[in-house]
Amino acid sequence: MAAVDLTTHPGHLARRLQQAHYLLWNTMVSEEITSPQFAVLNTLVAEPGLDQRTVGERVGLDRSTIAEVISRLGRRGLLDKVRDPQDGRRFLLRLTDEGLRTHRKLTVRTARMNQVFLGPLSAEEQAVFFDLLRRVSDAAEGLRNPAGRPAEPLAARS
């Protein structure tokens, strides 16, 4: 059997892209705050007072991952949990002053990192690249069933 051309495999290319992003993030943005943690901070800047489940949905993290991210940000003093006055079982999330300062600092750094990351593409190519990434990402999220498990393979549905 002949080897396949991995440059035609989206998963392979996505992994390579993620490796490049991880390297740039750690060298240009932060070794302490991860990209998913920044996404949570950013979401709470845009929409203060969301609950943990909603934040997880906004940033595309599953329940256990968002719980760990929220816990780490809380331990760092970057966000607070406040009991929801309408539902005492639920907690709403708000950034602390330190969380807001951290977000501002990282926002500047992420802008510089994105310039480097997207440097090989023209402005028009960048717009197309983002459109294609969003379309594939949105479609991939739609492959999950309501229980959060991947959809059943077509061969198993006969």
**138 band by pLDDT with thresholds 50, 70 and 90:** confident
Give the chain's domains with CATH numbers: 20-142 (1.10.10.10)
What's the whole-number mean pLDDT along residues 17-36?
Answer: 97
How much is the CA Rg of the chain, to the nearest whole Å? Answer: 19
Q: Does residue 157 surpass a pLDDT of 50?
A: no
Question: pLDDT tens across 47-80, in order?
Answer: 999 999 999 999 999 999 999 999 999 999 999 9
pTM of the model: 0.84
Burial code (b: 16+ CB inside 10 Å, e: under 16) for 98-126 equals ebbebbeebeeebeebeeebeeeeeeeee
